[in-house]
Amino acid sequence: MSKTDLHSIRKHAFEIIESNLPLNDILTQICVLLDQEVEVFDWTGFYLADPNDEKMLILGPYVGEPTDHTRIPFGTGICGQAAETLETFVVQDVKSADNYLACSIHVESEIVVPILKKGALFGELDIDSHTKNAISPELTSLCESICRKLETIL
């Protein structure tokens, strides 16, 4: 994927975020954009911090195969680790990850980027790929920049 393509995707994502749509619609449109524009992204979604349980993630908008993982405790799986540490996790080979929650037998790599609101976890962008080593530094930067931009409207 070229830098021009990545710049175009980032620009489009920022336009969606700045659109004044309801937050759920913004998150849904971001999922659709990334799913359609990034060939190696096979499941794109958001997990949100549960307002009723401070150590639980709940499934938000997503595009891809249905998942059984509608609630993920902090510390469990890659999503739970990212929630606990507030750090981006990139796993290029999920089969080698000790704490991976298998969503699909087809998933080979994953990125999870936390989204903060006033320094606390609001949610996270979770992307699975059916391709091993799919998450390049450029795609990591794209995902992180989208999440940082989302933080500005929370």
Share of the chain above pLDDT 70, in %: 97
pLDDT in tens, 30-66: 999 999 999 999 999 999 999 999 999 999 999 999 9
- Hunting for tokens 């920022």 — which residue is that? 14
Question: pLDDT class for 3, splitting at 50, 70, 90?
Answer: confident
**Sequence-separated (6 or more) residues with CB below 8 Å from residue 44:** 30, 31, 34, 35, 62, 63, 64, 125, 126, 127, 128
The whole-number pLDDT of residue 139 equals 98
Average pLDDT, the chain: 95
- Hunting for tokens 């699909």 — which residue is that? 104
Domain spans in the chain, listed from the N-terminal domain onward:
3-151
- Chosen CATH of 3-151 out of 1.10.3720.10, 3.10.450.630, 3.30.450.40, 3.30.210.10: 3.30.450.40
C-alpha R_g of the chain: 14
pLDDT in tens, 125-147: 999 999 999 999 999 999 999 99
Is the pLDDT confidence value at 103 over 80? no
The whole-number pLDDT of residue 101 equals 67
